Chain A
Amino acid sequence: GDSVTQMEGPVTLSEEAFLTINCTYTATGYPSLFWYVQYPGEGLQLLLKATKADDKGSNKGFEATYRKETTSFHLEKGSVQVSDSAVYFCALRAGGTSYGKLTFGQGTILTVHP
């Protein structure tokens, strides 16, 4: 079945450091890929998405590129801020009839210190 694997956390960085959160997936066909962010006490928000190979999703300084050859969708940000502290989830939506269901990774907790 479909699966998503994220790098284990938690990740702790100083402000303005470079961020990478690794995400790899297993899926049949051509899935769409997403990064969601969850701030403390809130639900998940869509951060960025990519629908086909070599697509780059970007939002709020975050980027991720859909790499079909390595089945990866790593999240990057050049300079993190304290306000980026949150839990980050990688997810995929398989093609075909899946009723829009998403498969999520286990989440990575990011803490950014001043």
Chain B
Amino acid sequence: EADIYQTPRYLVIGTGKKITLECSQTMGHDKMYWYQQDPGMELHLIHYSYGVNSTEKGDLSSESTVSRIRTEHFPLTLESARPSHTSQYLCASSGNKGAGVYEQYFGPGTRLTVT
């Protein structure tokens, strides 16, 4: 069973507030990812990291930022939340396993609503 955690699970916040979504994994995985999931269910990669002190932008442009100071921790920050940031945010991690098949393990998600 995957051990990847996200907090909070639900967050309702006003416009202009700074927020940090937490993601932690206990599997020692080197790679971590953030996805934004729109109401139509489609997943968009917004950030990823392949190790400590490495972060990269994903396929979908995002105003959020991430950091990777520790292997197990990959927080996502929005400096000034806007209603357009309302979405489901999913964190995932992966590591080398078997014949190089990088299975991704997902956290339960944070549902963010900006009013």
On A, residues with C-beta under 8 Å from B are 32, 34, 36, 38, 41-46, 49, 51, 87, 89, 93, 99-102, 104, 106-107, 109
Contact = CB atoms under 8 A, between A and B. Distances in A.
A51 B103 contact: no
Interface of A is mostly: strand
Nearest to B45: A101
12 contacts: A42-B108, A43-B109, A44-B92, A45-B106, A87-B41, A99-B31, A100-B31, A100-B104, A101-B45, A102-B45, A106-B40, A106-B41
Nearest to A104: B43
Given A104-B43, A106-B41, A43 B90 contact: yes
Contact of A107 (B43, B99, B103, B106): B43
Given A101-B45, A101-B48, A106-B40, A44 B101 contact: no
**Taking chain B's interface residues, is the majority helix, strand, or loop, or is none over half, making it mixed?**
strand
Contact of B101 (A41, A42, A49, A101): A49
Given A42-B108, A43-B90, A100-B94, A109 B102 contact: no
Task: Report which residue of A42, A100, A104, A107 has the largest number of chain B beta carbons within 10 angstroms of its beta carbon.
Answer: A100
Contact of B99 (A45, A51, A93): A51
Contacts, number: 55
- Among A32, A34, A99, max chain B CB count under 10 A is at A99
Contacts of A89: 43
Contact of A93 (B43, B50, B102, B108): B102
Closest 8 CB pairs of A and B: A100-B102, A43-B106, A107-B41, A44-B106, A100-B94, A104-B43, A99-B50, A100-B31
Contact of B42 (A44, A51, A100, A106): A106
Interface of B: 6, 31, 33, 40-43, 45, 48, 50, 56, 90, 92, 94, 99, 101-109
Contacts of A107: 40-43
A10 to B, nearest CB: 10
B90 to A, nearest CB: 6
